[in-house]
Amino acid sequence: MIKLYSTIFAALFLAALVWVGCSDDKVAGGVSEETNTIAGVLVDKKGSPVVSAMVYCKSVDVDTVESSDETNSKGEFSLPVKRYGSYGISASVDSQAFYEMVEFKGEDIDLKSVALKETVDFKGRVMLRDDSTTAGIVVRIPGSSWTAQTDSLGYYKLVGLPVGKTGLQVVPTDLIRFVKVEHEVNVGTLAGAGGVDSVMVPLSVEYGLRSWWTFNAVDKEGTADFAGDSRAWTAGMKFYGDPEYLENGAIHFRGASQFGVVEEDRGVLDGVNGFAVEVVLRVDKVLDDGASYRKNLVGKLGFGSAEDKDVFSLSVIRGMCGAKKTSFAFFMADGSGDSLSCKNAVVSKNALEFGNRYYLMATWNGKTVSLYENGRKVGETVVSFEKISASEESIFVGKESLEFSLEELRISVEPLNDADAENRNKLTAGGQHD
């Protein structure tokens, strides 16, 4: 029996060692319990030390990780910290306050002399969509006690902020539909009508998403012949003409004989009254460079037969629809048999720069179609229909005399806006998604 207990104790002791060694928490010195400090001297506007003031250190990521210290006769403070990450350092004395964000990486941080500033109340408004708000959205200065919640109209007020530029974090109540927002403001400077700052909360990339192709998931051996829809709405994309797989995770098409097609999209856009198409791509050249052309990059269309029930085409155009130079354009139809025309198209105001990587987003909200390049709106057009009819046309990638490469394709049934475009462009540039 004693031998059995000894064996159990040894096993538990070994498991404990393994658990400690595998802990994900990063502390000062790597895996030790060493404590470092964030130190400085708090002074007033005249540069004199501020005595007996409380200075606070709070983690941006973990609410329970915080410390504080009272300044001594020289205004000095020292705040212990172990866990790696971002911290807010703050102090409030009468009608003055101090705030600074720091990044702790396992070494002492000397803030040297930090000065209190005058404080003001800061008002703002949080919008969820262009015409909707909600109560209870948290707005805060990260790593501090400055926090507020929106009312039913989306308005909030933060009391006693130090003047100057600072970052706000907006945390929606519905984190399935929306994402957190990091928003920089200039406290003490009037913003917008009546001095009220306004911020729009972007949608989650997953919300409303029907189909998503990330071509770095394609088999890298040899030529590419198929890419699955990671959201499994469609039957996937078949490649014809042996397009090339590139090491950067893109599919490279050269000429009309190389293209991709979703032959069964299972009604991905049937009956919708809003949608968005997003792509990450690079256009290298137009292979039959004439005075006027329209070349499909991604589209649900039939390429010109009398029975076509076209829905959209993200294209490269020149010499039509007012595009004097080669530009991106997005054409729409309602799937009833009307062809894609300039009347229901939005054309970029910018000339296409061959060889450059683009994040493009085209979106329709039932009234207006808008086109974005790298997070910025480059055109919009009011269209003449409010709903998409059922269409049996396939979704094509290419099938034109173009040379281009495609990294990603996403189709959503939720209309997107400026805030979504800006947020998704940042995620695309960083190679990550929420």
Residue at 2 is within a domain: no
- Among 91, 115, 139, where does a domain finish? 115
Residues 160, 43 within the same domain: no
The pLDDT of 285-301, averaged and rounded, is 94
How far apart, in whole angstroms, are the C-alpha atoms of residue 241 and residue 48?
A: 75
Residue at 17 is within a domain: no
- Among 179, 200, 221, where does a domain finish? 200
14: pLDDT strictly greater than 50: no
- Tally the domains of the chain: 3
Residues 100, 158 within the same domain: no
Residue at 302 is within a domain: yes
Query: Which has the higher per-residue pLDDT, 433 or 308?
Result: 308
Helix, strand, or coil (residue 132):
strand
The type of residue at 77 is F
Identify the DSSP state of 49: B
Residues 267, 393 within the same domain: yes
For position 75, what pLDDT does the model report?
98
Residue at 99 is within a domain: yes
How far apart, in whole angstroms, are the C-alpha atoms of residue 363 and residue 277?
A: 6
The neighbour count for residue 11, using CB atoms within 10 Å, is 10
How far apart, in whole angstroms, are the C-alpha atoms of residue 332 and residue 298?
A: 12
Domain that holds residue 218: 209-430
The type of residue at 125 is R
For position 120, what pLDDT does the model report?
94
Residues 322, 351 within the same domain: yes
Helix, strand, or coil (residue 193):
helix
pLDDT in tens, 273-289: 999 999 999 999 999 87
Residues 259, 407 within the same domain: yes
Confidence tier at 303 by pLDDT (50, 70, 90): confident
- Among 70, 100, 115, where does a domain finish? 115
11: pLDDT strictly greater than 70: no
DSSP string covering 314-360: EEEEESBTTBSS-EEEEEE--SSSPPP-GGGEEE-SSPP-TT-EEEE
Residue at 12 is within a domain: no
Residues 240, 274 within the same domain: yes
Residues 179, 258 within the same domain: no
Helix, strand, or coil (residue 131):
coil
Cβ–Cβ under 8 Å, residues 286 and 402: yes
Two tokens, residue 11: 């096993």
How far apart, in whole angstroms, are the C-alpha atoms of residue 42 and residue 90?
A: 10
Query: Which has the higher per-residue pLDDT, 285 or 8?
Result: 285
* Closest CA relative to residue 416, chosen from 347, 370, 360: 370
For position 339, what pLDDT does the model report?
87
At a CB cut-off of 8 Å and minimum separation 6, what does 132 contact? Answer: none
Residue at 19 is within a domain: no
For position 306, what pLDDT does the model report?
74
Cβ–Cβ under 8 Å, residues 354 and 330: no
For position 12, what pLDDT does the model report?
38
Q: Work out whether the CA dihedral 337, 343, 346, 352 comes out positive or negative.
A: positive
Residues 132, 108 within the same domain: no
Helix, strand, or coil (residue 143):
coil
pLDDT in tens, 30-42: 333 468 999 999 9
Identify the DSSP state of 133: -
CATH number at residue 128: 2.60.40.1120
Two tokens, residue 26: 């990063």
Two tokens, residue 346: 């939005």
CATH number at residue 402: 2.60.120.200
Residues 374, 407 within the same domain: yes
Residue 90 CA to its chain's centroid (Å) = 29
Cβ–Cβ under 8 Å, residues 204 and 181: no
Torsion angles phi and psi, residue 23, rounded to 5:
-60, 140
167: pLDDT strictly greater than 60: yes
The neighbour count for residue 392, using CB atoms within 10 Å, is 13
* Closest CA relative to residue 150, chosen from 121, 175, 117, 124: 124
How far apart, in whole angstroms, are the C-alpha atoms of residue 245 and residue 254?
A: 12
pLDDT in tens, 129-145: 887 899 999 999 999 99
Two tokens, residue 342: 């300039």
- Write down the pTM of the prediction: 0.84
CATH number at residue 40: 2.60.40.10
Residue at 20 is within a domain: no
Confidence tier at 15 by pLDDT (50, 70, 90): very low
How far apart, in whole angstroms, are the C-alpha atoms of residue 369 and residue 365?
A: 7
Residues 171, 266 within the same domain: no
pLDDT in tens, 400-426: 999 999 999 999 999 999 999 999 999
Residues 111, 142 within the same domain: no
DSSP string covering 62-125: -TT-EEEEE--TT-EEEEEE-B-EEEEEEEEETTEEEEEEEEESSS-EEEEEEE-EEEEEEEEE
Residues 297, 356 within the same domain: yes
Residue at 6 is within a domain: no
For position 13, what pLDDT does the model report?
40
For residue 5, give the H/E element and its range. helix 2-21
* Closest CA relative to residue 187, chosen from 213, 206, 163: 163
